[in-house]
Amino acid sequence: MSDTILGIDLGTTNSIVGVVDSGFPILLADDQGQRIIPSAVYYPDGETREVLVGHHALRMRCLEPERLVLSAKRLLGQREGSGQLSLQMGGDTLAVEEVSAHILAHLKSIAEKRLDKKVDRAVITVPAYFNDAQRNATRRAGEIAGLEVVRILSEPTAAALAYGMDKLEECSKVVVYDFGGGTFDVSALEMSEGVFQVMATAGDTLLGGDDIDLALGKALFSMAGGSDLAEASPMVRSKFLEAARTAKENLSDEFNCRVSLPFYDGQKSFETELTRAQLDDIALPFIERTKGYCREVMECAGIGNEDIDAVILVGGSTRMPKVRELVAEFFGRDPDVSQNPDEAVALGAVIQAGIISGVLQEILLLDVTPLSLGIETFGGLMNVIIPRNTTIPVKRGEMFTNAAPGQDTIKVSVLQGEREMARDNWCLGQVHVQCDPGVKGSARIGVEFSLDADGILNVIARDTLTGKDEILEIRDVAVEVDDDRVEKMIAESVDHAFADMNERIWTEAKMKSDELVPAVEKALELAGDLIDDKEREDIESKLRAVGDALTGGSLDVLKKANKALDLSTEHLASRLLEEMLDS
Amino acid sequence: MKVDYFVTLGQARRADLDDDAIRKDFQRLSRKCHPDAGGQLKEFEELNQAHAILSDVVSRLRHLYELEFGKFPAATGAFSAQAMELFAVVGEVVSGANDYIHRKSSATTAISRALIAREEEGIQRSVLECCGEVRARRGELLSRLTDIDSKMADDRDSARVLVEESCHELAFLAKWERQLNECMATLVL
């Protein structure tokens, strides 16, 4: 077995591989001299043609977009119904992990060529906010590609390693703001004498540059006269998305750019000038969302802006001037742009690989679990066993007993998340704890939940009477649903649907009236001289119309009356708001 | 034989400890016993647990009680007068904020949204003020920690009562601060 461990950034948009060479972390290039490999996989039709990965695959984007898989990372670990999410490629079903495995195998072969030796171990990075299923899926992808994944490493932590590598004698607190193609993470870390300790982390695994591309693509399609980009053909969708991404990237350097889509569907063409201001308007809601997570991290870490020594930007989306502006405003300082936003994470992965293989000794990483881990208890609540932002590896124990006499299996649902109700959190699965059937409360089983250095869960049950340890399998939750039963449930609900539907629409309209009428009555009281008699009389007559419609019982009449009342009060509403803002 | 986390983390057995010192010692000791640095997993897990227990004042006081006096008594519901007063205020503010949040999210018409928006500033202010009071009370309790340490030697009964009361009240204060922060986070969204 080779002692070299690869460091791999498996990104939503791009992937990179590197190693520590003579004590220095370096990134490896493919045979075209490229270090940055697009995370794209092309599956050609026909059995003899080879699967393409990277730049070669991306070239097929506008020729055969339906056979190209992009941003597979966004689908890793996701569920569909009761099973794992899978992709349809022509007539075949593809597991998401297989797609990622192709990318990893490609990176492995780049490394082996450059190093001129076999390599079979790697550190792979994931978004800090990836849950247990997503981390396991990443590990499985590595295994399929022939790599033993020795560590799953959080991306912002990796970036901090890259940043702090040459500042080991310093002691400082940094925030890493990682806005990539598919995910957003923000972490607060303390670096002190070679120890990198994560204090808190937050993020969203479904917020990234891809969302901005989609919003811009949709806007461009509207400008071109289309109605909904989601309903256009894959070819047209692909072209508009690519044009959107290119425009977005150009507008990081320019204030305006030309968007050109000649014969995008074979017949129509579209051209327009796009300004940075227009892009900013479209991108703003997504960028604003990142602020909430930044706030959360600062609070969990117990620090304020004055405690931070640097804010490090990572991820392609941080190239947008609007993002930099928002970060500077929020943290009250100019962000540190010394790290290459595309390569910092990969460098960090390589450094961690070096730490684990023993070639880099002065550095230690202390990471945390991003999501609280707990179990479902009575009343459908979640009981937290390991709170989020706890340093890993960590283990905590809980005692279980049988709730019913004669019970021989205690079924425990394991959850990750911060919500109070179990059903609002992510369910990892169930563990079945065996116990001797006896009087209620007689069994004493200690269950140990341990999160390893990858942030992945292992559960061990110890029977305190026999002293026996048993590793518990975390089973998929929906495995035991009976197919016949499911079909019957669906049929019944369809039958009821029609009857339910009419009642529901009336109830919805009535709820609207119940909200509208008191609000309008109160507004009229407060209005004073904000409205004249004519307007007041108009609103009052519309109020009476709603009252009549409610007793009349006609759905159509009520809906129209609600709408008329709503419209008639819009002016008053904005004047009330203005008055409040002026005071 | 129960583990003494003060010993594990190389700290003096005191109620009053410096947060920065605890963290620095945790980092320093990790460099030797973290598995990545060649240490044993079990040893690191214990160190990790020691750090978790000692860095949160509630669990630290509880651990101190268990080492010095035995099993930690459950909360009896007996509260200091200040805590009772604060409890009433927090309850009111949190339920007022949650009620406002619920009404705000159910408002679908322009007119109801405009009416509700007028209340927002007042609600935010009440939550911030209440948070300030909770933090102030927490500060008062934290400044009493040195009293506990000085009484531990010659007036153990007083020390015991102080540890128990401070621990219970600080636990409630932490819970209230969490609830208020959650309201605030939802309001500014």
Instruction: Give the number of other CB atoms < 10 A from CB of residue B52.
Output: 18
What is the C-alpha to C-alpha distance for residues B145 and B17, in angstroms, rounded to an integer?
A: 9
Q: B 101-130 residues with CB below 8 A of A?
A: 106-115, 117-118
Residue B37 has its nearest CB partner, among A296, A364, A390, at: A364
Cα Rg, chain B, nearest whole Å: 21
Token pair of A570 as six digits:
């819009």
Nearest CB among B48, B113, B117 relative to A394 is that of B48
**Rg, chain A, Cα only:** 28
Q: The whole model's pTM is what? A: 0.81
pLDDT tens-digit profile, chain A (583 residues): 458 999 999 999 999 999 999 889 999 999 999 999 999 999 988 777 789 999 999 988 878 888 889 989 988 888 776 677 788 887 788 889 999 999 999 999 999 999 999 999 999 999 999 999 999 999 999 999 999 999 999 999 999 999 998 888 889 999 999 999 999 999 999 999 899 999 999 999 889 999 999 999 999 999 999 889 988 988 899 999 999 999 999 999 999 999 999 999 888 999 999 999 999 999 999 999 999 999 999 989 989 999 999 999 999 999 999 999 999 999 999 999 999 999 999 999 999 999 999 888 889 999 999 999 999 887 788 889 999 999 999 999 888 877 777 778 888 899 998 887 888 888 888 888 877 777 777 777 788 899 999 999 999 888 777 777 888 878 766 544 445 555 555 555 555 555 566 677 777 888 889 888 999 998 988 888 888 889 999 999 999 999 999 988 888 899 999 999 999 998 888 888 888 777 6
Closest Cα of chain A to B163: distance in Å?
24
Mapped onto helix, strand or coil, the DSSP state of residue A164 is: helix
Q: Show the tokens assigned to A196.
A: 């990198």
From the centroid of its chain, how far is CA A315? 14
Q: Going from the N-terminus, what domains does chain A have, and what CATH number goes with each? A: 6-207+285-366 (3.30.420.40), 371-480 (2.60.34.10), 485-582 (1.20.1270.10)
Q: Which positions in chain B touch A292 (Cβ < 8 Å)?
A: 185, 188-189
Residue A98 near residue A86 (C-beta atoms within 8 A): no
Q: Work out the percent of chain B whose per-residue pLDDT is above 90.
A: 66
For the stretch B120-145, pLDDT in tens is: 989 999 999 999 999 999 999 999 99
Structure tokens belonging to residue B134: 């909770």
Q: Of A178, A190, A211, A454, which one is the catalytic site residue?
A: A178
The reply to whether A204 belongs to the active site is no
Nearest CA in chain A to B23: A197
| Domains of chain B listed by start with CATH number | 5-55 (1.10.287), 81-188 (no CATH)
**Residue scoring higher pLDDT (B80 or A368):** A368
Residue B17: pLDDT band with limits 50, 70, 90: very high
| Gap between the Cα atoms of A227 and A548, Å rounded | 38
Active site residue A118: no
Are the beta carbons of A192 and B24 separated by less than 8 Å?
Answer: yes
**In whole angstroms, what separates CA B188 from the centre of its chain?**
23
Nearest C-alpha of chain B: how many angstroms from A134?
23
Of B28, B37, B117, the CB nearest to A580: B117
CB neighbour list of residue A201: distance below 8 Å, 6 or more residues apart: A128, A129, A154, A156, A185, A186, A187, A188, A297, A368, A370, A389
Give the pLDDT score at A168: 87
Amino acid at A516: L
Residue A166 pLDDT: 87
Nearest to A516 by CA among A553, A548, A542, A554: A542
Q: Do B108 and A356 touch (CB under 8 A)?
A: no
**Which residues, numbered 14 to 43 in chain B, qualify as contacts with chain A under a Cβ-Cβ cut-off of 8 Å?**
23-24, 26-28, 30-31, 34-37, 41
Question: What average pLDDT does range B96-111 have in this prediction?
Answer: 88
Residue A477 to chain B, least CA–CA distance (Å): 30
From the CB of residue A451, how many other CB atoms can be counted at a distance below 10 Å? 21
Tokens of A533: 């008699």
Question: Chain B neighbours among A 508-547 (CB < 8 Å)?
Answer: 512, 515-516, 519-520, 522-523, 526
The residues near A582 (Cβ < 8 Å, ≥ 6 apart) are none
Interface of A with B in 179-208 (CB under 8 A): 190, 192-195, 197
Cα gap B31→B45, rounded to integer Å = 13
- Distance between CA atoms of A65 and A245, rounded to whole angstroms? 16
CB B180 within 8 A of CB B93: yes
Residue type, B132: G
Question: Over B125-179, what HEC string results?
Answer: HHHHHHHHHHHHHHHHHHHCHHHHHHHHHHCHHHHHHHHHHHHHHHHHHHHHHHH
Residues from chain B contacting residue A364 (CB–CB below 8 Å): 30-31, 34, 36-37
Chain mean position to CA A269: 35
Query: What pLDDT, on a 0 to 100 scale, did the predictor assign at position A491?
Result: 56
Identify which of A51, A133, A113, A68 has the alpha carbon closest to the alpha carbon of residue A455. Answer: A133
Rounded to a whole number of angstroms, the distance from the CA of A555 to the nearest CA of chain B is 19
Whether residue A292 lies within 8 A of chain B, CB to CB, comes out as yes
Q: How confident is the model at residue B189 (pLDDT cuts 50, 70, 90)?
A: low
Of A365, A390, A569, the CB nearest to B111: A569
Per-residue pLDDT of A438-495, as tens digits, reads: 777 777 778 889 999 999 999 988 877 777 788 887 876 654 444 555 555 555 555 5
Residue A39 and residue A107: Cα distance in Å, rounded?
Answer: 10
Q: Name which of B3, B19, B36, B48 to mutate to probe chain A: the one with the most chain A Cβ atoms within 10 A of its Cβ.
A: B36
Count chain A–chain B contacts defined by CB atoms under 8 A: 94
* Residue A231 designated active-site: no
DSSP code string of A218-264: HHHHHHTT-S-GGGS-HHHHHHHHHHHHHHHHHTTT-SEEEEEETTT
Would you state the structure tokens that stand for residue A379, as one six-digit string?
């009343």
Q: Could you confirm whether A454 is annotated as catalytic?
A: no
List Cβ neighbours of A339 (8 Å cut-off, separation of 6 or more). Answer: A159, A162, A163, A312, A313, A314
Instruction: Give the C-alpha separation, A291 to A175, whole Å.
Output: 13
**Contact A325/A188 with Cβ under 8 angstroms?**
no
